[in-house]
Amino acid sequence: MLPRSAPLVPPVPPPVYFWHRTDLISTWIIAALAFITRFIGLTAPTSSGTPIFDEKHYVPQAWDMTKAGIELNPGYGLVVHPPLAKEIISWGEMLFGYSPLGWRVMAALFGVGTVVMIMSLTRRLTASWQVATFAGIIGVFDGVLLVASKFGMLDIFLTFFVVVAAWALVRDHQQVHNRLHAAWLDGGLGDSVFGPRIGFRWWRFAAGVALGLALSVKWSGLYYIAFFGLTCVFADLWLRRRYGIKRYITGTLLRDVPAALASLVALPVALYLWSWRNWFGTETAVYRHAVADGTVPADSPLRMLPDTIA
């Protein structure tokens, strides 16, 4: 007689992932192509040697960070978006000064990293170095990715962290699949109608870190937190159902959802707050005293909060 947790049909085992020499060679070739295409002519487009388009906002603010650690109160333009990407841009300016190379080198490097991570994500999904290489070629020559990698703006940093989060979640799903399958083979699914506990999931935790960094670049990272959070939970539900867990919905709600909320919601929010550490630590940051100087309207409910939170 089958245990009540056993599926009637033997589940399909997870795919076996092998890293071959061809993976290494193809990755290096695509990485080299990405590096060449992003660094050739990197410093050429300027406005009489000054930043162009929205670089005019982010580049000077990043330069502020090289001196003060945070955006200062400017007499020009607007200061928008969380500080992380501008802080990353400032690293290049620390190395190469206030120059096109200084304010674009980090975007170019993150652009190369994005292409490599697209390859790695595709390799994990398909277990094929050929398909991964094709994805890498598309990434190298995609016009939006190329342009975003060659200017001192924010989108390539958001893209990189989102792709890293997707890659980490794929690895998490494969790891959970392996754990459940090993337990099924060993008869270790247990007698609970909710199914077994999976244990701590470091890859899901890593995805939460990446999502927190994405949110610290732009608030649009919130969309990916919501989407990846739901995807992760439904993937867990599917696996519990696939392995014959009797009450797989309740089991997912009790044993998977709380930890998923911690890794994919609470952790990103904590990292987002951490990204503002320098802002809270200085009295000269832009909008630091928005309540006192009247930027926050007198009838705004934000005035109920402490000044720095408002």
Take residue 247 and report the two structure tokens written for it: 């009450």
The pLDDT of residue 3: 46
Tokens for 23, please give them. 């993976």
Q: What is the pLDDT of residue 244?
A: 84
Angle at 25 between CA 21 and CA 29, to 5 degrees: 170
Q: How far is CA 236 from CA 129, 175, 291, in A?
A: 27, 11, 45
159 CB neighbour count, 10 Å cutoff: 22
What is the SS3 assignment for 47? strand
Q: What are phi and psi of 105, to 5 degrees?
A: -65, -40
Q: pLDDT per position in the chain (310 positions), as tens?
A: 344 455 556 678 777 778 889 999 999 999 999 999 999 999 998 888 888 888 988 999 999 899 888 888 776 667 889 999 999 999 999 999 999 999 999 999 999 999 999 999 999 999 899 999 999 999 999 999 999 999 999 999 999 999 999 999 999 999 999 988 888 888 777 778 888 888 899 999 999 999 999 999 999 999 999 999 999 999 999 999 988 888 989 988 988 999 999 999 999 999 999 999 988 888 888 888 888 888 888 888 988 888 888 8
Residue 275 in 3-state DSSP? helix
User: How far apart, in whole angstroms, are the C-alpha atoms of residue 267 and residue 207?
Assistant: 10
In this structure, the number of other CB atoms found within 10 A of the CB of residue 289 comes to 17
Pairwise CA distance, residues 38 & 137, whole Å: 14
Give the pLDDT confidence score for residue 1 in this predicted structure: 39
pTM of this structure: 0.91
Exposed (0-12), middle (13-18) or buried (19+): which is 26, by Cβ within 10 Å? buried
Residues 6+ apart with CB under 8 A from 108: 38, 39, 42, 149, 150
Joined together, the tokens standing for residue 162 give: 């989102």
Nearest-angstrom CA–CA distance, 268 and 222: 9
Closest by CA to 197, choosing from 149, 240, 134, 166, is 240
Nearest to 123 by CA among 161, 182, 174, 176: 174
Chain length of the chain: 310
SS3 for 298? coil
Residue 20: the pLDDT is 86
Sort 75 into a burial class: Cβ within 10 Å, 0-12 / 13-18 / 19+: exposed
Strand partners for 50:
47
Residue spans of alpha helices (H) in 127-154: 129-141, 143-148
State residue 67's pLDDT score: 86
Distance separating alpha carbons of residues 103 and 150, to the nearest angstrom: 10
Helices marked H in the chain? 21-39, 55-68, 84-96, 100-126, 129-141, 143-148, 155-185, 202-215, 221-242, 248-255, 257-261, 267-275, 277-280
